Amino acid sequence: MRRLPFILHPAAKDYLWGGNRLNEEFNKGIEMSPLAETWECSTHPDGQCFAGSAKLGEVLKNHPKWLGSHSLQTTSGMSILPILIKLIDAKEDLSVQVHPDDEYARKHENGSLGKTEMWYVVAARKGAELIYGFREDMTVDSVNKSIETGRIGSYLNHVPVEKGDLFFIEPGTVHAIGAGCLIAEIQKSSNITYRLFDYNRIDKNGKKRPLHVEKALEVANLKSSIAPRQPMRVLKYKQGFASELLCRCKYFQVERILLNTEVQRHLVDYQTNDNSFHALLCVDGCGSITSEEFSMNFFKGDCIFVPAGSDQLKFHGKAQILDVSC
């Protein structure tokens, strides 16, 4: 069977802090309000996306070579998708939270993976911010007291954000996405989150969402940290497009592609190898992908799965794409 790209259909989440921008601005067409998250590329059991009528996990189980021969595959000995890609619309603040590393998750969460993630700010309203680490050294007792009094926010770094900003969130980093942010999140395939504080909010069932303070404090880095600065980024220009490396860690790599072939006949070559699949998340614009016997269009909000070792492809259009691989 030829290895050709295909568009994924996301799983959706209606968390109480979500808005409706993913329908209004990304044309998701999902009958859910609020629409807080779309899991664009996922085989996680809490939210699998689809390739046509089939779950992505089933497709990859039948075609394991489409994932590639990267080290995460060969060391696991399993045909699993090691990453998860989301779009997140925060109409209100997300909870103050933290994620465990692999060792803690394996021991305390039935063998689950820990969670390392990267945020790319797709859009941010004026005054939007996020939370990243503590402003001063804390102790378990001081954090507990700040939660009880509702003052934990005063001990955290509040970082203003703008469209195009980039943040890398390691396990143990206390963090939160603030109201007005629309984020593309690239992460390990994990859904383990420990809430420290949730603003005493009431869910649709009239109950407060559970906190996980004890576990959170077992994994959280309580030392002070400097509010992160934006890393130096270098655009590389070629005919019809520019690209830049956003993030490279042992779990995933993310590049940003700026495609612009609207005013020329030249098409951009895109070639994969046998090492890794690619997931292409279009965060702006639209375009087309073609090969000798294949053609498809894509639009803002689409996520395209490109199997490892695909045919040589050509891109055309005007779009901004996050290219995720392992």
The residues carrying an active-site annotation are 195
Q: Which of 80, 83, 107 is nearest to 218 (CA)?
A: 107
- How many Å separate Cα 301 from the centre of its chain? 13
Sequence-distant (6+) residues with CB within 8 A of 214 are none
Sequence-distant (6+) residues with CB within 8 A of 53 are none
The pair of three-digit structure tokens given for residue 292, joined into one six-digit string: 């000798």
Contact 130, 159 (CB under 8 A): yes
Contact 84, 188 (CB under 8 A): yes
Q: Is 148 exposed, middle or buried (0-12, 13-18, 19+ CB in 10 A)?
A: exposed
Report CA dihedral (243, 245, 250, 252) to the nearest 10 degrees.
-40
Bridge partners for 113 per DSSP: none
Sequence-distant (6+) residues with CB within 8 A of 31 are none
Angstrom distance (rounded) from CA 283 to CA 94:
22
| 249: helix, strand or coil | coil
Helix (H) or strand (E) holding 54: strand 54-55
For the chain, the C-alpha Rg in angstroms (whole number) is 20
